Structure 1
Amino acid sequence: MKRWAALTTLTAVILTMASPAVAGSNNSGRFDRPRDGYAPKTTLLRDATPAKAGLDPAPIDAALAQVAAWTQPNGTAKPLYAGAVTLLGHDGKIVTRSATGLAVKYADGAGTELPADQQIPMRTDTIFDLASVSKLFTSIVVMQLVEKGRADLDAPIATYIPEFAANGKENVTVRQALTHTSGFPSWLPLWSAQPDPPSRLQMALTAKLQNAPGTKYLYSDLNLIALGELAHRVTGKTLDKLVADGIAKPLQMRDTGYNPDPKKQQRIAATEYQASPPRGMVWGSVHDENAWSLGGVAGHAGVFSTADDLAVLAQTFLNGGSYRGARILKESSVTAMITNFNQAFPGNDHGLGFELDQRWYMAGLSGPRTAGHTGYTGTSVVIDFDSRSFAILLTNRVHPSRNWGSNNPARRAVAQGLALALGVGPRHGKDAWFSGTTDNATTTLATKVAAPADGARLAFDLFVDTEDTDLLYLETSADGTTWTKLPFSVRDRGSVIDTDGSISGSGNRHWQQVTAELGAGEQTIRWRYTSDPLYQGRGVYVDGVKITSSDGVLLDGERTPESFTATGWRLSRR
């Protein structure tokens, strides 16, 4: 779903590069060998180079270069953010930890720069306001209560907060709040509509629904505000205490929590200059006005953290809920948090807390077992369970103004860089034909054949990981000008799918076998990959092309790669 999309496309250097294979072991470093279940609970993070983790360093380096470039203005366009921290992990290894730009740069909302000696460089341990990534912490707290039998996913929230039943909400469940199908409006101006924290919380809890419960997906801060208060009512402890005791302390996330210690201010990234409310440059206090007006602790926003602390949280999920001997969730709870409960709302896949399979910021890492969340301040976390990888990008994109733009291009660049670093191994020989992953492009791979009177059969291996609107077409032409789609059949682990001559989609992450029947005569066979202006998957690979007939083998693509004419496609070893 193309929500909040910036029209900026990723640079070709990130999206189209291929490098020689790098060393790997077993399934590590491979995109086309998805892994089931979870990593061993004993898996601990350690630093390594991308190459030692079985990854291709080149796409990662290109992504980091682009992240750094976006700290600078481009002509009349403002920079996407003042600074950023990128951390990438794969198979228990932190392969990238990089800081660029400035954590504090501006004096006001107009973009007046502070004197150089007052600006603060970004560091890899800079502390960021996570904004809506905080919702994951609230969701974990709720799941911990469910595990203890103190809350029920399918119980009405009003069971725990009686006043929540107001305005027809008596049947809204905990599960609906976690999946944003409660019917709540997306947002209410609590901070300006009410005079104090108790009345603001009351306004959130008693708000009217915009839709009937369970009938529509609508992302809403009010869902998690209600769940944060549910946790408070059930335990008698405030949400910040629950997050500290149930998540941050056991996982030793020392820089994670609400309302950070003022002594840490020099390590905190500034956010926005706010005139209404008149807060000035927000630095060390939560950016979200509603969370701020509730005392800095709320279910939807307020958590501050670092990239390394979030890496521990990501690996905890990859481990099935445990890290360094501390278990914060059962495996069954992790599974529930990354299981799509929104099948009725295509494009809005959501687990019990996590967003799932969202190409608009997960890019090539996206898939049914890819979980993540973004934050309005410019933060994002993507956890790919199939490859046991994660991508963390923390920026201060609202510094000095939220109106300067979106950092979605950077979110996609980082995720795509990691996806391209994960290899797709050829099925035959040393390489396979690769479509590239350039937005708004058409690439073609063609070969000629003369089929006898009784026709011929085309067979090849195919790997497809694309956005649904980015299609691969198999076509044939007698004159090289007029093309007709060539229907083909795809064999996928025992099942056979017949197509009209086109295919797209993601989630399989493995090679499939394709066959098609060719008519008689001289003709050109063409693979044509078309992409729209936004979003990419891992791309299309074609390998082991063979055309046979009653006369024998007419074409063996492995023996004669020179038989192909490639425009935009290239031979790739990974």
Structure 2
Amino acid sequence: MAPRLSRGTCPDAELRADELNRLVGELTPFLESSPASAHPWCAGAVVLAGRGGTVALHEAVGWAVRYRGYDERADRGVELPRGQWVPMRPDTVFDLASLTKLFTAVVAVRRLEPDREVAAYVPEFAAAGKRRITVRQLLDHTSGLRPELPFHDHADARDRARLLWEEEPVAAPGGTRIYSDLNLIALQHALERETGESVDALVREEITGPLGMHDTRYNPPASWLPRIAATEDQRRPWGRLDRGMLRGSVHDENAYAMGGVAGHAGLFSTAWDLALLCRSLLDTGGPRPGHRGYPGFETDAAWFMGALAGRGAAGHTGFTGTSLVIDPATDSFLVLLANSVHPCRLWRDGSAPRAAVGTRFARALGVV
């Protein structure tokens, strides 16, 4: 059953209006260059904040499309004529990048046994010292696998899979945490082998369909294009492929090579749809009723949560400028979606805006 969410006021959500009303203001300095930064952090953003079943803030700032390209010699964005700039709207659709991992993790917890070895689902995965890696170790990034592999260099799906089968862990499984796309790609293989269904079908059956997330999917149709935020002028050497300015096509090169559907990246969504996911997770206490906790999520990460960290908050970020945080202690949620790789990933400059927004929301909650 889809969670109930409605727009309401700060009193409805038991939030301090004076603080919440300043939250969007925390973002605006990051939309333009400044003495502290030669580049804007993003061209535009959508922010949503709520508590209980009430969304008290859902606003857009800046531009979904501003640039037609990037001039690497001058290190500047090449702007479109002003009349062609597309403003951000609350219902703007974003390339979620690594927020996709959360969807894969939720499905994995529902469909796979966390303490079972991955090789039990995908025997080929056992090669090169990976036999003892478990589903749980993939979920919490303790498999020992490196962050990524160049799947985009291989047109054949069998060659891409062989890269993963032949990959040897760089650290002993079960020890050091190494954040890795490979973990979620391996989970994708395990899910598809176990269920006989593709990961996009599983996400639709387990999450987006039941929760009524109608604006969330892989490979958005052409009819969505007017609502989609642009990402990057993707070219070598900063990119791994030469694809030009991207809008509506997945930014991640490996996900693109996989047809836009991957365990680590590829989903597009809106702030409201992500709020539905947040509300569902808060309602159930985790990805599966009876299974407490949030596998696949970062916990108490001050670098992007700000003052929300340290209280059991859980969340995640995406390379394109996306993030979400849920705080079980206050039954609250915060979604920030931005196009911080528009026009080029070289302009990305940390997570200061995410942390600032998190701290302002913590003040609105009255926890700091």
Q: TM-score scaled to structure 1, two decimals?
A: 0.61
Please say if residues 155 and 257 of structure 2, whose CA atoms lie closer than 8 Å, have aligned partners that are also in contact.
no
Correspondence for 1:138 among 104, 120, 139: 104
Q: Deviations over 1:417-439 (max 9, x none)?
A: 11001225xxxxxxxxxxxxxxx
1:114 aligns with 2:80: yes
Measure, in 1, the Cα distance between the counterparts of 2:254 and 2:143: 20
Does the C-alpha gap of structure 1 residues 199 and 371 become closer, same or farther in structure 2, counting only changes over 3 Å?
same
Q: Match of 1:272, as an amino acid?
A: E
Q: Match of 2:192, as an amino acid?
A: H
Q: How does 1:331-480 map to 2 (within 5 A)?
A: 331-333=289-291, 335-337=292-294, 352-406=295-349, 408-423=351-366
Measure, in 1, the Cα distance between the counterparts of 2:158 and 2:28: 43
Please say if residues 205 and 226 of structure 1, whose CA atoms lie closer than 8 Å, have aligned partners that are also in contact.
no
> Hey, what does 1:4 align to over in structure 2?
none
Please say if residues 84 and 393 of structure 1, whose CA atoms lie closer than 8 Å, have aligned partners that are also in contact.
yes
Measure, in 1, the Cα distance between the counterparts of 2:3 and 2:206: 20
Measure, in 1, the Cα distance between the counterparts of 2:159 and 2:340: 31
* Gaps in structure 2 of 5+ consecutive residues: 72-76
Measure, in 1, the Cα distance between the counterparts of 2:114 and 2:298: 18
Q: Which runs of 4+ in 1 moved over 6 A?
A: none
Measure, in 2, the Cα distance between the counterparts of 1:403 and 1:247: 34
Q: Deviations over 1:508-533 (max 9, x none)?
A: xxxxxxxxxxxxxxxxxxxxxxxxxx
Give the aligned length: 358
By how many angstroms is 1:69 displaced?
A: 2.5
Measure, in 2, the Cα distance between the counterparts of 1:257 and 1:94: 23
1:287 aligns with 2:258: no
Does the C-alpha gap of structure 1 residues 42 and 282 become closer, same or farther in structure 2, counting only changes over 3 Å?
closer
By how many angstroms is 1:368 displaced?
A: 4.8
* Gaps in structure 1 of 5+ consecutive residues: 1-40, 146-150, 323-328, 338-351, 425-537, 539-574
Measure, in 2, the Cα distance between the counterparts of 1:206 and 1:137: 26
Matched position secondary structure for 1:94:
strand
Measure, in 2, the Cα distance between the counterparts of 1:391 and 1:107: 31
Does the C-alpha gap of structure 1 residues 42 and 227 become closer, same or farther in structure 2, counting only changes over 3 Å?
closer
Which structure: greater helix fraction?
2
Measure, in 1, the Cα distance between the counterparts of 2:97 and 2:364: 29
Q: Match of 1:139, as an amino acid?
A: A
Does the C-alpha gap of structure 1 residues 397 and 112 become closer, same or farther in structure 2, counting only changes over 3 Å?
same
Q: Deviations over 1:268-318 (max 9, x none)?
A: 111111113110011101101111111111111111100000000000011
Correspondence for 2:44 among 67, 79, 83: 83
Q: How does 1:77-226 map to 2 (within 5 A)?
A: 77-110=38-71, 111-145=77-111, 151-192=112-153, 194-226=154-186
Q: Match of 2:78, as an amino acid?
A: T
By how many angstroms is 1:106 displaced?
A: 0.6
CA RMSD of aligned residues (A): 1.7
> Hey, what does 2:204 align to over in structure 1?
244
Matched position secondary structure for 2:247:
coil
Please say if residues 3 and 276 of structure 2, whose CA atoms lie closer than 8 Å, have aligned partners that are also in contact.
no
Please say if residues 270 and 283 of structure 1, whose CA atoms lie closer than 8 Å, have aligned partners that are also in contact.
yes
Please say if residues 201 and 294 of structure 1, whose CA atoms lie closer than 8 Å, have aligned partners that are also in contact.
no
Q: Deviations over 1:38-94 (max 9, x none)?
A: xxx996211112233222122222221121231122146211100000000112110
Please say if residues 126 and 268 of structure 1, whose CA atoms lie closer than 8 Å, have aligned partners that are also in contact.
yes
By how many angstroms is 1:117 displaced?
A: 2.3
Q: Percent identity?
A: 45
1:229 aligns with 2:189: yes
Does the C-alpha gap of structure 1 residues 134 and 42 become closer, same or farther in structure 2, counting only changes over 3 Å?
closer
Correspondence for 1:255 among 204, 215, 220: 215
Does the C-alpha gap of structure 1 residues 275 and 43 become closer, same or farther in structure 2, counting only changes over 3 Å?
closer
Measure, in 2, the Cα distance between the counterparts of 1:206 and 1:300: 19
Measure, in 2, the Cα distance between the counterparts of 1:330 and 1:152: 12
Measure, in 2, the Cα distance between the counterparts of 1:43 and 1:160: 32
Measure, in 1, the Cα distance between the counterparts of 2:47 and 2:12: 19
Between structure 1 and structure 2, the one with the greater Rg is 1
Q: Match of 1:367, as an amino acid?
A: G
By how many angstroms is 1:390 displaced?
A: 0.7
> Hey, what does 2:74 align to over in structure 1?
none
By how many angstroms is 1:175 displaced?
A: 0.6
Please say if residues 191 and 199 of structure 2, whose CA atoms lie closer than 8 Å, have aligned partners that are also in contact.
yes
By how many angstroms is 1:206 displaced?
A: 2.9
Please say if residues 365 and 419 of structure 1, whose CA atoms lie closer than 8 Å, have aligned partners that are also in contact.
yes
Please say if residues 16 and 366 of structure 2, whose CA atoms lie closer than 8 Å, have aligned partners that are also in contact.
yes
Which structure: greater strand fraction?
1
1:316 aligns with 2:280: yes
Matched position secondary structure for 1:108:
strand
Correspondence for 2:14 among 47, 54, 59: 54
Matched position secondary structure for 1:287:
coil
> Hey, what does 1:325 align to over in structure 2?
none
Please say if residues 165 and 206 of structure 1, whose CA atoms lie closer than 8 Å, have aligned partners that are also in contact.
no
By how many angstroms is 1:407 displaced?
A: 5.1
Q: Match of 1:100, as an amino acid?
A: V
Matched position secondary structure for 2:314:
strand
